[in-house]
Amino acid sequence: MATSLRPVPNWQEELRLAFRQLPDFLDYLHLTPAQLPPLRPSGPAFPLLVPRPYAARMNKGDPRDPLLLQVLPLAEETHAVAGTLLDPVGDAASERAPGLLHKYRGRALLLTTAACAVHCRYCFRQNFPYADSNPAQDDWSGVIAALAADPSISELILSGGDPLSLGNARLRRLTDQLRVLPGLRRLRLHTRWPVVLPDRIDPGLLTWLAELPWTVTVVIHANHPAEIDAEVSAACAQLRSAGALLLNQSVLLAGVNDDAGVLQALSERLHDVGVLPYYLHLLDPVVGAQRFAVDEAQGQALIASMRARMPGYLVPRLAREIAGEGSKRVVA
């Protein structure tokens, strides 16, 4: 008897075809190692991962392309630098159940999976012990029990990794279990998928979003206007059509977006596609990411310049996260 094979969704196929080896990636971009700082060979510790649709937005032959700089693994990532930490925001101290972090009153964050669509070299969670927290389990009973025990929690943030790395059926199984929580009013998703691989916003995902019983906010993550092309715009429009409010958070990154003109163009491009700027984060001092650091005074000057050029609703809040504090610290 013949068996029919289920087609692989486009986004999963795109992820399978992503660049994972430096020689292939550099050859695609028409670059050689001689044009770049010393590189970190791809290995098991936070390896190269770049989807081809994201790589297609990079300027070929340009070793300073702002999208390339975000994903290119350099040898200096392995150098010890004073003041950098494996867990710069205190995730471990805030874990209340496997994968459930509770830092701020009224909201908790669930690490749904270790997987992402892209490996950003500045990621503050690149050293998180996901295997110990087992965030990809389908039985979320421990999480549900912890949330039910604290009626002050009215908002749950799905994070990771990236929650949209889970398939639609697994996302639905998770949110079906969350429906037993009478105090839950808001669901927030933090995701880079709509930006780096917009095919992930497929009909099944949109149906799932539209049927959720809570107010849903999707916080995307774009750092540079060149990241937002027609496909990203279409994905954002589809998310809005499913009833989601769209916000953006960026990280202030040296050599990528530490320029008032670039940040203004990013905010304007976000508004064009129906996304409001939310946070511009100062870099978390994670081990290996020191090359991206921009100091607070420069960040404040950039925000002041943006405020002089733009309406207030297009200016993100400059903020940093400090382990143990009861909220993010807004510094401009």
Residues 6+ apart with CB under 8 A from 210: 242, 243
Residue count (the chain): 332
Strand-strand pairing, 329-330 and 317-320? antiparallel
Which segments of the chain have a pLDDT < 70?
A: 1-8, 135-137
Give me the residues paired with residue 97 across strands: 100
Q: What is the pLDDT of residue 45?
A: 85
Q: What is the pLDDT of residue 2?
A: 43
**In the β-sheet with 276-281, what is the strand arrangement from edge to edge?**
95-97, 100-104, 107-111, 155-159, 186-190, 215-220, 245-251, 276-281, 317-320, 329-330
Q: What is the pLDDT of residue 42?
A: 75
Q: How many CA atoms lie within 13 A of 172 on its CB side?
A: 10
CB 61 within 8 A of CB 29: yes
Q: How many CB atoms lie within 10 A of CB 145?
A: 11
- Three-state SS letters, 129-168: CHHHHCCCCCCCHHHHHHHHCCCCCCEEEEECCCHHHCCH
Output phi, psi for 187, to 5 deg: -125, 130
User: Residue 276 in 3-state DSSP?
Assistant: strand
CB 22 within 8 A of CB 41: yes
Buried-state track 87-116, b at ≥16 Cβ within 10 A, e below 16: bbbbbeebbbbbbbbbbbeeebbbbbbbbb
CB 71 within 8 A of CB 61: no
Look-up: residue for tokens 């429906």?
A: 179
Q: What is the pLDDT of residues 208-262, one digit of tens each?
A: 999 999 999 999 999 999 999 999 999 999 999 999 999 999 999 999 999 999 9
Q: What is the pLDDT of residue 137?
A: 61
pTM for the model stands at 0.95
Q: What is the DSSP letter of 6?
A: P
CA distances from 84 to 5, 71, 295 (A): 48, 19, 14
Handedness of CA 158, 161, 165, 171 (dihedral sign): negative
CB 262 within 8 A of CB 225: yes
CB 131 within 8 A of CB 161: no
Strand-strand pairing, 186-190 and 276-281? unpaired
Residue among 58, 47, 55, 195 at smallest CA distance from 121? 47
Q: What is the pLDDT of residue 133?
A: 78
Q: What is the pLDDT of residue 136?
A: 54
Residue 100 Rama label (left phi>0; alpha psi -120 to 50; beta)? beta
Looking at the chain, which runs of residues are DSSP E strands?
A: 95-97, 100-104, 107-111, 155-159, 186-190, 215-220, 245-251, 276-281, 317-320, 329-330
